[in-house]
A and B are shown apart, each in its own frame.
Chain A
Amino acid sequence: MTYIAKPKLHHPSLTCNAAGFTRRDYEGAVSTLCAGCGHDSISAAIIQACWELDIQPHRVAKLSGIGCSSKTPTYFLSASHGFNTVHGRMPSVLTGANLANKELLYLGVSGDGDSASIGIGQFVHAIRRGVNMVYIVENNGVYGLTKGQFSATADLGSKSKKGVTNTDSPLDMVGMALQLGASFVARGFSGDKPQLVPLIKAAIKHKGAAFLDVISPCVAFNNHPGSTKSYDYVREHNEAANRLDFIDGRDEITVDYAAGELIDVTQHDGNVIRLRKLAASYSPHDRVAAMNYLHERSAKGEVVTGLLYVDEDAHDLHGHMNTVSTPLNRLAAKELSPGKKALEKINAALR
Chain B
Amino acid sequence: MKPIQATNDFVIKFANVNGSGSASANELFAKSILRMGVPVSPRNIFPSNIQGLPTWYEVRVNERGWLGRRGGVDMMVAMNPQTWDADIAEIEPGGYLFYDSTRPLPPSKFRDDITVIGMPLTAICNRTYADARQRQLFKNIMYIGALSVLLDIDPAEIEKLFGEQYKGKEKLLDSNVKALHLGRDYAKEHLAPIGLKVRRANAVGERIFVDGNSAAALGCVYGGATVCAWYPITPSSSLAEAFQKYCMKFRVDAETGENKFAIVQAEDEIASIGMVVGAGWNGARAFTTTSGPGISLMNEFIGLAYFAEIPVTIIDVQRGGPSTGMPTRTQQSDVLACAYASHGDTKHVLLFPEDPRECFDFSAQALDLADRLQTPVFVLTDLDIGMNQRLTAPFEWDDARAYDRGKVMTTEELEAGKYFGRYKDVDGDGIPWRTYPATHPKRGSFFTRGTSKNPEARYSERGDDYIYNMQRLLKKFDTAKALVPQPILHAANDKTRYGAIYYGSTSPAMDEALAALDADGLHVDALRLRAFPFPDPVAQFIAAHDHMFVIEQNRDAQLRSLIVNEFGIDPARLVPVLHYDGTPITARFIAGAIGKHMHAAKVVSIESKAAHS
**Least Cβ distance of B439 to chain A in Å?**
7
**Least Cβ distance of A56 to chain B in Å?**
6
Q: Mark A158-198, 1 if CB is under 8 A from B, else 0.
A: 00000000000000000000000000000000000000000
- On whether the beta carbons of A121 and B259 are closer than 8 Å, the reply is no
The answer to whether B379 has its CB under 8 Å from any CB of chain A is: no
Count of chain A residues with a beta carbon within 8 Å of a chain B beta carbon: 60
**Least Cβ distance of B525 to chain A in Å?**
33
- On whether the beta carbons of A79 and B445 are closer than 8 Å, the reply is yes
Stretch in contact with the other chain, from A145-153, A269-277, A325-333 = A325-333
The answer to whether B82 has its CB under 8 Å from any CB of chain A is: no
- The chain B residue with its CB closest to the CB of A73 is B447
**Least Cβ distance of A25 to chain B in Å?**
9
The answer to whether B266 has its CB under 8 Å from any CB of chain A is: yes
Q: Which 3 A-B pairs have the closest CB atoms?
A: A96-B278, A92-B274, A100-B284
List chain A residues, Cβ under 8 A from B273. 92
- On whether the beta carbons of B397 and A340 are closer than 8 Å, the reply is yes
Q: Determine which residue in B263, B272, B450 has the highest number of CB atoms from chain A within 10 A of its CB, and name it.
A: B450
- The chain A residue with its CB closest to the CB of B364 is A337
Partner of B222, one of A94, A322, A338: A338
A100→B286 CA distance, assembly (Å): 9
- The chain A residue with its CB closest to the CB of B286 is A96
Q: Mark A42-81, 1 if CB is under 8 A from B, else 0.
A: 0000000000000011110101000000000110001111
Partner of A340, one of B208, B210, B398, B448: B398
List chain B residues, Cβ under 8 A from A337. 221-224, 397, 399, 401
- On whether the beta carbons of A332 and B403 are closer than 8 Å, the reply is yes
A350→B30 CA distance, assembly (Å): 13
Sample (17) of A-B pairs whose CB atoms are under 8 Å apart:
A57-B441, A58-B438, A58-B440, A81-B446, A84-B451, A86-B301, A93-B274, A96-B278, A97-B282, A99-B264, A100-B284, A124-B267, A125-B266, A322-B257, A322-B258, A332-B224, A332-B403
List chain A residues, Cβ under 8 A from B142. none
A335→B402 CA distance, assembly (Å): 11
A59→B442 CA distance, assembly (Å): 11
Partner of B278, one of A100, A325, A335: A100
With A82-B447, A96-B275 already in contact, the answer to whether A101 and B300 are too (CB < 8 A) is no
- On whether the beta carbons of A103 and B438 are closer than 8 Å, the reply is yes
- The chain A residue with its CB closest to the CB of B221 is A338
Stretch in contact with the other chain, from A202-210, A225-233, A306-314, A341-349 = A341-349
List chain B residues, Cβ under 8 A from A325. 256, 258
The answer to whether B251 has its CB under 8 Å from any CB of chain A is: yes
- The chain A residue with its CB closest to the CB of B301 is A86
A283→B157 CA distance, assembly (Å): 70
With A95-B278, A338-B221 already in contact, the answer to whether A125 and B259 are too (CB < 8 A) is no
- On whether the beta carbons of A328 and B284 are closer than 8 Å, the reply is yes
With A101-B284, A125-B267, A340-B398 already in contact, the answer to whether A322 and B259 are too (CB < 8 A) is yes
With A93-B278, A96-B275, A96-B280 already in contact, the answer to whether A328 and B227 are too (CB < 8 A) is yes
Q: Which of B283-326 contact A (CB under 8 A)?
A: 283-284, 286, 300-301, 304
Count of chain B residues with a beta carbon within 8 Å of a chain A beta carbon: 73
Q: Mark B382-416, 1 if CB is under 8 A from A, else 0.
A: 00000000000011111101110000000000000
**Least Cβ distance of B127 to chain A in Å?**
37
List chain B residues, Cβ under 8 A from A57. 441
List chain B residues, Cβ under 8 A from A95. 264, 271, 274-275, 278
The answer to whether B350 has its CB under 8 Å from any CB of chain A is: no
The answer to whether A321 has its CB under 8 Å from any CB of chain B is: yes
The answer to whether B497 has its CB under 8 Å from any CB of chain A is: no
**Least Cβ distance of B513 to chain A in Å?**
28
Interface residues of A (CB under 8 A from B): 56-59, 61, 63, 73-74, 78-86, 89, 91-101, 103-104, 121-122, 124-125, 129, 318, 321-325, 327-329, 331-333, 335-340, 342-343, 346-347, 350-351
**Least Cβ distance of A10 to chain B in Å?**
13
Partner of B226, one of A93, A103, A331: A331
- On whether the beta carbons of B450 and A121 are closer than 8 Å, the reply is no
- On whether the beta carbons of A346 and B395 are closer than 8 Å, the reply is yes
A202→B157 CA distance, assembly (Å): 67
Q: Which of B470-486 contact A (CB under 8 A)?
A: none
List chain B residues, Cβ under 8 A from A333. 224, 401-403
Q: Determine which residue in B256, B283, B442, B449 has the highest number of CB atoms from chain A within 10 A of its CB, and name it.
A: B449
List chain A residues, Cβ under 8 A from B399. 337, 339-340
A319→B307 CA distance, assembly (Å): 33
A1→B304 CA distance, assembly (Å): 28
Q: Mark B230-266, 1 if CB is under 8 A from A, else 0.
A: 0000000000000000000011010011111111101
A86→B343 CA distance, assembly (Å): 13
- On whether the beta carbons of A335 and B401 are closer than 8 Å, the reply is no
- On whether the beta carbons of B448 and A84 are closer than 8 Å, the reply is yes
- The chain B residue with its CB closest to the CB of A20 is B441
List chain A residues, Cβ under 8 A from B448. 81-84
- On whether the beta carbons of A100 and B274 are closer than 8 Å, the reply is no
- On whether the beta carbons of A100 and B227 are closer than 8 Å, the reply is yes
A84→B450 CA distance, assembly (Å): 7
List chain A residues, Cβ under 8 A from B34. 351
List chain B residues, Cβ under 8 A from A99. 226-227, 262, 264, 275, 278-279, 284
- On whether the beta carbons of A122 and B274 are closer than 8 Å, the reply is yes
Q: Determine which residue in A79, A121, A335, A350 has the highest number of CB atoms from chain B within 10 A of its CB, and name it.
A: A350
- On whether the beta carbons of A336 and B276 are closer than 8 Å, the reply is no
- On whether the beta carbons of B278 and A323 are closer than 8 Å, the reply is no
- On whether the beta carbons of B301 and A338 are closer than 8 Å, the reply is no
List chain B residues, Cβ under 8 A from A347. 208, 394-395
The answer to whether B218 has its CB under 8 Å from any CB of chain A is: yes
Partner of A324, one of B260, B270, B441, B447: B260
Q: Determine which residue in A99, A324, A343 has the highest number of CB atoms from chain B within 10 A of its CB, and name it.
A: A99
List chain A residues, Cβ under 8 A from B272. 92
The answer to whether B534 has its CB under 8 Å from any CB of chain A is: no
- On whether the beta carbons of B267 and A122 are closer than 8 Å, the reply is yes
A112→B227 CA distance, assembly (Å): 29
A83→B262 CA distance, assembly (Å): 21
A86→B300 CA distance, assembly (Å): 8
- On whether the beta carbons of A328 and B304 are closer than 8 Å, the reply is no
A346→B392 CA distance, assembly (Å): 13
List chain B residues, Cβ under 8 A from A332. 224, 402-403
A332→B222 CA distance, assembly (Å): 11
Partner of A58, one of B208, B209, B441: B441
List chain B residues, Cβ under 8 A from A79. 441-442, 445
Q: Which of B429-460 contact A (CB under 8 A)?
A: 435-442, 445-451, 459
The answer to whether B138 has its CB under 8 Å from any CB of chain A is: no
A63→B274 CA distance, assembly (Å): 12
A331→B278 CA distance, assembly (Å): 17
Q: Mark B117-155, 1 if CB is under 8 A from A, else 0.
A: 000000000000000000000000000000000000000
- The chain A residue with its CB closest to the CB of B253 is A324
